[in-house]
Amino acid sequence: MRMKIVGALMLALLAGCATPPPPAPGSAASKVVSMGDTKNIEVGAMRVARENGFLTVKAQLTNTSSRNRMMYYRFAWLGNDGFPVADEESWKSMTLYGSQSTVLPAIAPVPRATDFRIEINTP
C-alpha cells in the first residue's frame, strides 16, 4: 500500500515537472512567438483570410492585468516552404489598457505569403 502511495506521488511529481506539450500545428498558439516572458498578455482567437490576393490576419489580444500594459509586436510572413517571403517588419509598440481586449489587424506585404507568426515582447 505504502509503495502504491509513493509510486502515485512520484508520478504526480514527474507530471508536475513535465514541460507542457507543444501547440498543435495550425492552432492559434502555434502562430505566436513569445520573446521572453510576455506578462499579462494573452493571444486569443485569430481570423485568417485571403482578401484581394493578400493574406489578412486579425488576432485577439487581451491584457489579463488590471493595469495598463505596453507590448511590442511584429508579424513574420512565411511562404509555402515555411521561410520568410519578405523583409523583417519593424517592431511596433502598443498599449493595452487594464483588462482590455482588442483585435490586432495585419496584412501580408506580398501575395506569396501563406502563413505567419506574431512575435511578441513585453518590456
Partner 1 sequence: MLSTRLCSIAAIALLVTGCANNSPSLGSKNISYGDTKAVETVTNEFGSTDLQMIAESMTRSLAQSGTLQGRPVVQVYDVKNKTSEYIDTREITNSIKTQLMKTGTARFASDDNQMQNQVDQLKLQNQSGLYKKTTVAKTGNMVAAKYRLEGSISSIVKRSSDYKDVFYKFSLQLIDVESGLAEWMDEKEIRKTTER
Min separation Cβ 54 and partner 1, Å: 4
Q: Which stretch binds partner 1 (CB under 8 A): 6-14, 15-23, 32-40, 108-116?
A: 108-116
- 89 touches partner 1 (CB under 8 A): yes
> Footprint of partner 1 on residues 30-69 (CB under 8 A)?
51-54, 56
CA 111 to each of CA 7, 49, 52: distance values in angstroms, whole numbers, following the listed order: 56, 12, 9
C-alpha cell at 28: 492559434
Beta bridge partners of 27: none
Q: Taking the alpha carbons of 37, 58, 106, 24 in that order, is the dihedral positive or negative?
A: positive
Binding stretches for partner 1 (CB under 8 A): 51-54, 56, 72, 74, 86, 88-93, 107-111
